[in-house]
Chains A and B, each alone.
Chain A
């Protein structure tokens, strides 16, 4: 699948990345090559190779968690890894609701 400069610019916007035209052109070429590489998988599946994992990994009722409350982290510890806090809250740059 060919990756157009528009595809790159659109994806960049979703990822909040500001790219120059030069970067867009370069990434377009790289992504095109990755895409072609991954496309081989489709051919493999079409050729009848296993599309599913070899092991039938699956969870049934017994493998699930009981609905039991367990202790949470103390608030200070929950907040300790955050770049910024205010009182008991995480603080982030203003977001628009």
Chain B
């Protein structure tokens, strides 16, 4: 009896751990000029209802004609993720009632979508996972409704039909995602591919990229799927991750306390950081899908697919590998630089004018990215051109300006759009490197600090840094610190060993052995001096 009790206890839901199973449906607005079935402008925004016509308003008798470029953009994505473009695709009507859908149906694709299969790679904690895709299909967007809080009237809703008929692709993943983090990585990767293909802005806040998630949980180690819920209304990648974490937690608690997950749609509330049920999920047959009688089946011959395939740009992962090999930069740098296509373009253009790729990469990853982030700027609108940056980097390399000074010059370049040389010459910021310019500065520092010199000679060799610092201060930071060091060491030798010990060549490369250590080197000359 006791053992029976224990067994029952061991099998209570509380003691079972659960793993989440996630599949994402992502809608991406295609960057065509016109809408998918009419000639109205597809651009985001515009005065309300200014981009409408009988076709997208669903007026009687108006007939849709498919936009060729929308098909080609969809094909780009299908091919980029290794999917298959069907030779014959069928449009279907998806019927439902909503005021932002004036026809009473959405033209979409159902059992014969344009694209099947494919996958997207993500790297989670150093391990590559492939997220399989079920399908990629073409469809039209619906209009936009404004509800009481922003309509200023609680009995009515207002509708703007500008978005009606804007082309979308829907990318449906397999339930291959196993954590909110993986969902975030997958979305980031999709967004990056869409941007590289130049078919979508990828802007989630503006709704150009939208994500609905199907989530279920199952006991660790089992393979059968649990009942899933759909989570909607997330408007950032972080929002998707948070909403998923919330829903997984909710389902787990529910099941652990003996409850059952009900199939339903949950609306994520970003402000409240919680999700609430919207309506019981309708079965897909409720949409009464049937082939769109106003559009002929779309035939896609092999030559058309081949033309699109051969026009595909280099994709992020391929480009990262190439940058690492071609320019000899670390894989990490290559990944950061290829994160956005425009940033990778910026890097490659910079390297054209300044060959030290690692230095260019460092500068872009720190200075350029910092400013872009601080000012929420797009790299394509960055005021410093790659040629201009290359010139600045060249000036640092030649010792014309110090690295510290270069940062100031760079700030001025960002603010004014002026060229580096122009700023440096105009403001006298050029670095002081020549002996003739440095000597008087060092003489003055030594003359003003006789006491410190005595202490130094008495063995307090760490005072060397003090002299260098004083010299830098007097030059207002313009002195080349390496040259001050070298010059200082030369003086040092002279004072310790008398004038006879003073061959006075530049010692730019033998520096560090000398500080506090020179007396042990025969003749006070650096052993590596040549």
Binding site for B on A (CB under 8 A): 14, 16, 57-61, 63-73, 75, 78-79, 81, 84, 86-97
Q: What CA separation (Å) do A57 and B65 show in the bound complex?
A: 15
Task: Tell me, rounded to whole Å, the shortest Cβ–Cβ distance linking A4 to chain B.
Answer: 16
Task: Tell me, rounded to whole Å, the shortest Cβ–Cβ distance linking B162 to chain A.
Answer: 9
Q: What CA separation (Å) do A73 and B57 show in the bound complex?
A: 10
Contacts of B70 in A (CB 8 A): 67
Task: Check if A14 sits within 8 Å of B59, measured CB to CB.
Answer: no
Binding site for A on B (CB under 8 A): 32-34, 37-41, 47-54, 57, 59, 65-71, 88, 97-99, 145-148, 151, 153-161, 267, 282, 286, 295-301, 304
Partner of B298, one of A59, A88, A89: A59
Contacts of B161 in A (CB 8 A): 78, 90
Task: Tell me, rounded to whole Å, the shortest Cβ–Cβ distance linking B527 to chain A.
Answer: 71
Contacts of A73 in B (CB 8 A): 52-54, 57
Contacts of B50 in A (CB 8 A): 72, 75, 88
Task: Check if A90 sits within 8 Å of B99, measured CB to CB.
Answer: yes
Contacts of A57 in B (CB 8 A): 296-297
Task: Tell me, rounded to whole Å, the shortest Cβ–Cβ distance linking A83 to chain B.
Answer: 11
Given A75-B48, A88-B47, A68–B155 Cβ distance below 8 Å? no
Contacts of B300 in A (CB 8 A): 60-61
Please report whether the interface of chain A is mostly helix, strand, loop or mixed according to DSSP.
loop
Task: Tell me, rounded to whole Å, the shortest Cβ–Cβ distance linking A35 to chain B.
Answer: 15
Task: Tell me, rounded to whole Å, the shortest Cβ–Cβ distance linking B519 to chain A.
Answer: 79
Partner of A60, one of B65, B99, B151, B299: B299
Task: Check if A89 sits within 8 Å of B146, measured CB to CB.
Answer: yes
Lowest 8 CB-CB distances: which A-B pairs, in order? A70-B39, A67-B69, A89-B158, A64-B68, A59-B296, A88-B48, A92-B99, A90-B159
Task: Check if A65 sits within 8 Å of B48, measured CB to CB.
Answer: no
Contacts of B158 in A (CB 8 A): 86-87, 89-92
Task: Check if B296 sits within 8 Å of A75, measured CB to CB.
Answer: no
Given A60-B299, A78-B161, A90-B99, A69–B156 Cβ distance below 8 Å? no
Q: Provide 6 A-B residue pairs closer than 8 Å at the C-beta atoms, listed in order of the A residue.
A: A69-B33, A88-B47, A88-B50, A90-B160, A92-B156, A97-B145
Task: Check if A58 sits within 8 Å of B66, measured CB to CB.
Answer: no
Q: What CA separation (Å) do A38 and B78 show in the bound complex?
A: 37
Please report whether the interface of chain B is mostly helix, strand, loop or mixed according to DSSP.
loop
Given contacts A59-B297, A92-B145, A95-B145, 7 further A-B contacts (CB under 8 A): A59-B296, A60-B299, A64-B71, A66-B67, A67-B70, A72-B52, A93-B156
Task: Name which residue of chain A comes closest to B70, CB basis.
Answer: A67
Contacts of A78 in B (CB 8 A): 49, 52-53, 57, 161
Given A69-B39, A93-B156, A97-B145, A88–B69 Cβ distance below 8 Å? no
Q: What CA separation (Å) do A95 and B88 show in the bound complex?
A: 38
User: Which of A58, A69, A71, A84 is most buried by chain B, counting CB atoms within 10 A of its CB?
Assistant: A69
Task: Tell me, rounded to whole Å, the shortest Cβ–Cβ distance linking B361 to chain A.
Answer: 37
Given A92-B157, A95-B157, A67–B147 Cβ distance below 8 Å? no
Contacts of B282 in A (CB 8 A): 14
Task: Check if B66 sits within 8 Å of A65, measured CB to CB.
Answer: yes
Task: Tell me, rounded to whole Å, the shortest Cβ–Cβ distance linking B220 to chain A.
Answer: 37
Task: Check if B145 sits within 8 Å of A59, measured CB to CB.
Answer: no
Task: Name which residue of chain A comes closest to B56, CB basis.
Answer: A72
Partner of A72, one of B51, B98, B155, B296: B51
Contacts of B97 in A (CB 8 A): 16
Task: Tell me, rounded to whole Å, the shortest Cβ–Cβ distance linking B207 to chain A.
Answer: 14
Task: Check if B155 sits within 8 Å of A93, measured CB to CB.
Answer: yes
Task: Check if B296 sits within 8 Å of A68, measured CB to CB.
Answer: no
Contacts of A94 in B (CB 8 A): 147-148, 154-157
Task: Check if A58 sits within 8 Å of B296, measured CB to CB.
Answer: yes
Contacts of B160 in A (CB 8 A): 88-90
Task: Tell me, rounded to whole Å, the shortest Cβ–Cβ distance linking B469 to chain A.
Answer: 64
Task: Name which residue of chain A comes closest to B147, CB basis.
Answer: A97
Task: Check if A60 sits within 8 Å of B301, measured CB to CB.
Answer: yes
Q: What CA separation (Å) do A89 and B148 show in the bound complex?
A: 14
Task: Check if A68 sits within 8 Å of B66, measured CB to CB.
Answer: no
Task: Tell me, rounded to whole Å, the shortest Cβ–Cβ distance linking A74 to chain B.
Answer: 8
Partner of A66, one of B40, B68, B151, B297: B68
Contacts of B32 in A (CB 8 A): 67
Q: What CA separation (Å) do A67 and B65 show in the bound complex?
A: 11
Contacts of B146 in A (CB 8 A): 89
Q: What CA separation (Å) do A91 and B157 show in the bound complex?
A: 6
Q: What CA separation (Å) do A61 and B304 show in the bound complex?
A: 8
Task: Tell me, rounded to whole Å, the shortest Cβ–Cβ distance linking B406 to chain A.
Answer: 45
Q: What CA separation (Å) do A84 and B158 show in the bound complex?
A: 10
Partner of B40, one of A59, A69, A96: A69
Contacts of B68 in A (CB 8 A): 61, 64-67
Contacts of B38 in A (CB 8 A): 70
Task: Name which residue of chain A comes closest to B307, CB basis.
Answer: A61
Task: Check if B299 sits within 8 Å of A59, measured CB to CB.
Answer: yes
Task: Tell me, rounded to whole Å, the shortest Cβ–Cβ distance linking A44 to chain B.
Answer: 18
Task: Check if A75 sits within 8 Å of B145, measured CB to CB.
Answer: no
Contacts of A72 in B (CB 8 A): 40-41, 50-53
Task: Name which residue of chain A comes closest to B48, CB basis.
Answer: A88
Task: Check if A67 sits within 8 Å of B34, measured CB to CB.
Answer: yes
Task: Check if B299 sits within 8 Å of A68, measured CB to CB.
Answer: no
Contacts of B57 in A (CB 8 A): 73, 78
Task: Name which residue of chain B comes closest to A14, CB basis.
Answer: B286
Contacts of B295 in A (CB 8 A): 59
Partner of A79, one of B49, B59, B156: B49
User: Which of A81, A87, A89, A92 is most buried by chain B, counting CB atoms within 10 A of its CB?
Assistant: A89
